């Protein structure tokens, strides 16, 4: 199996991958409360795992490497629960800009930011546009659960998409990090159904602290989670992400048109 993790490769190996115009995946997650039964690193763990699996799949067709993840995102709405780390949008923007700039200076040109946290979605759309202009490079962005939307919908029993500490996230954690799932707390791991803000049809957006939405810290129902569902979700999302990589969205960027500055 090809090694795909940046931090496990030597500089010589990375220079060779850059010379092959390998795709670079940059996982972005969050560190925040995930109910009584899951660890705070869920979004980071799952984004990184899907990126790793997708890179292995896509490496049969093209060079792929996965950078170390950005484990802290925009999580202000979870702060009331404790156990949450958050950064401001300017900080996240600056960090992603510097990481992408480093990747480009290392010789790579195709970068895909892969998000694992619903609260990052709208911000990362805007940041991707800004980075493409600032770095004069076609940065791409996808949320892994958006790429694998069909697999999510077809696998879960109680919801059509990921929510928070829900059937889907709990199932995936059971599949890859079962030792971090506190099964004894699953009876309390349920809450109202929600729509991610970036996917909401509501005409008005207002910031609402998550403890006003659900006192348990859970949106959805983790009580029906299983490792079998989790493996199907991970496999489906990874395959969908690998398909995006192989289809090469960067080739669609008009290299003759300079970004507006």
* Within a domain: 260: no
Query: In 186-197, which positions are buried (b, 16+ CB within 10 angstroms) versus exposed (e)?
Result: beebbbeebebb
The residue count for the chain: 261
Block residue for tokens 């770095």: 135
In-domain check, residue 256: no
Q: Is residue 253 part of a domain?
A: no
**Structure confidence by residue, pLDDT tens digits, 112-123:** 999 999 999 999
pLDDT tens readout for residues 150-202: 999 999 999 999 999 999 999 999 999 999 999 999 999 999 999 887 888 88
Residue 212, φ and ψ in degrees, nearest 5: -85, -15
Count of domains forming the chain: 1
Span 29-56, pLDDT tens digits: 999 999 999 999 999 999 999 999 999 9
Q: Does the structure show a pLDDT above 60 at 259? A: no
Whole-number pLDDT of residue 178: 98
pLDDT at 253 over 80: no
Residue range 199-247, pLDDT digits in tens: 888 899 889 999 999 999 999 999 999 999 999 999 999 999 999 999 9
| pTM score over 0.85 | yes
Tell me whether strands 140-143 and 23-28 are parallel, antiparallel or unpaired.
unpaired
Is 194 part of a structural domain of the chain?
A: yes
Q: For residue 108, what is the domain's CATH number?
A: 3.40.50.10310
Contact 62/192 with Cβ under 8 angstroms? no
Domain residues for 28? 6-248
Say if 210 falls within a structural domain.
Answer: yes
């Amino acid at each position: 199996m090809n090694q795909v993790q940046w931090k496990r490769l030597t500089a010589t190996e990375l220079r060779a991958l850059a010379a092959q115009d390998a795709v670079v995946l940059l996982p972005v997650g969050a560190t925040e409360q995930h109910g009584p039964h899951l660890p705070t690193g869920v979004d980071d763990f799952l984004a990184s795992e899907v990126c790793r699996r997708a890179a292995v799949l896509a490496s049969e067709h093209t060079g792929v490497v996965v950078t170390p993840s950005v484990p802290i995102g925009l999580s202000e709405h979870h702060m009331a629960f404790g156990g949450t780390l958050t950064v401001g949008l300017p900080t996240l923007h600056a960090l992603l800009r510097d990481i992408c700039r480093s990747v480009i200076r290392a010789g790579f040109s195709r970068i895909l930011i892969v998000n694992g946290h619903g609260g990052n979605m709208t911000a990362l759309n805007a940041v991707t546009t800004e980075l493409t202009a600032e770095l004069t490079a076609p940065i791409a962005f996808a949320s892994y659960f958006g790429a694998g939307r069909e697999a999510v919908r077809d696998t879960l029993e109680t919801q059509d998409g990921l929510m928070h500490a829900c059937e889907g996230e709990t199932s995936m954690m059971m599949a890859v990090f079962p030792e971090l799932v506190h099964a004894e707390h699953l009876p309390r791991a349920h809450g109202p159904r929600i729509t991610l803000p970036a996917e909401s049809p509501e005409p008005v957006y207002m910031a609402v602290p998550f403890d006003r939405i659900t006192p348990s810290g859970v949106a959805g129902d983790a009580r029906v989670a299983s490792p079998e569902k989790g493996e199907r979700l991970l496999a489906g999302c990874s395959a969908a992400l690998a398909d995006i990589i192989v289809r090469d969205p960067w080739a669609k960027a008009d290299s003759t048109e300079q970004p507006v500055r």
